[in-house]
Amino acid sequence: MSNPHTLCPKFEAAFELLGKRWTGLIIQVLLSGPKRFKDLSDIIPGMSDRMLSERFKELEAAGIIIRHVYPETPVRIEYELTEKGKGLEFAMKEVQEWAEKWAGHDECPPQEA
Amino acid sequence: MSNPHTLCPKFEAAFELLGKRWTGLIIQVLLSGPKRFKDLSDIIPGMSDRMLSERFKELEAAGIIIRHVYPETPVRIEYELTEKGKGLEFAMKEVQEWAEKWAGHDECPPQEA
């Protein structure tokens, strides 16, 4: 396509994925390193375990996170961003900066606990 | 909130808005300057006029575009990005670069006409 305005449909797919509730926050937390399920649910108190489990499955299916199972006793399971997932750092930062700059503070309440 | 992982809900709202079909493309086209309705619908042939009209309303409500009415004969109406809308340039670029890098080319068909 020679039209300079043509955007890959993957562009919208990316925004769709990242626009889901909690997804941005999960990726943000995992940018600081691999985490266990409980780490995530402790850090994000407003999110139910069922929701976290669902998001993990979606992000795994999208190739954004990988699940590591360490055969210890008890078994240890960690979730880590893939290279594709880590590649989102700058995109997330730019959207966040835009949102912070343009959303009034009064529109930005603390997250529910 | 002192938790460094707390993200403003506006962050997810931004992704939600930008994740809607055609929205990214409309903003992308308007980044090159104000356009008339017909300019947009010519540049984005796969999008219906009804859809464009709906997206314009959403983007206007979100303060991302502004509608100028010039009292000429016939009346001329143009849509332009606000400063808030123009501020999206880098965020869109980063998400697009990520999507282009990580989506296989075979997953990225030309847009329907």
Within 8 A of B25 by CB-CB distance, chain A residues are 5, 7, 12
Within 8 A of A63 by CB-CB distance, chain B residues are 102
Tokens of A36: 């266990």
Closest by Cα among A109, A20, A8 to B15: A20
Whether the CB of B7 is below 8 Å from some CB of chain A: the reply is yes
User: Residue A24 — pLDDT band, cuts 50, 70, 90?
Assistant: confident
Of B5, B63, B99, the CB nearest to A14: B99
Chain segment A50-71, per-residue pLDDT in tens: 999 999 999 999 999 999 999 9
* Alpha helices per DSSP H over chain B: 9-18, 23-30, 37-43, 49-61, 83-86, 89-102
- Asked if the model's pLDDT at residue B111 lies above 50, the reply is no
- Asked if the model's pLDDT at residue A73 lies above 70, the reply is yes
Of B12, B14, B100, the CB nearest to A21: B12
Q: Please name each of the domains of chain A with its CATH number.
A: 14-101 (1.10.10.10)
Using CA atoms, how far apart are residues B113 and B110, in angstroms rounded to an integer?
A: 9
pLDDT at site B107 = 52
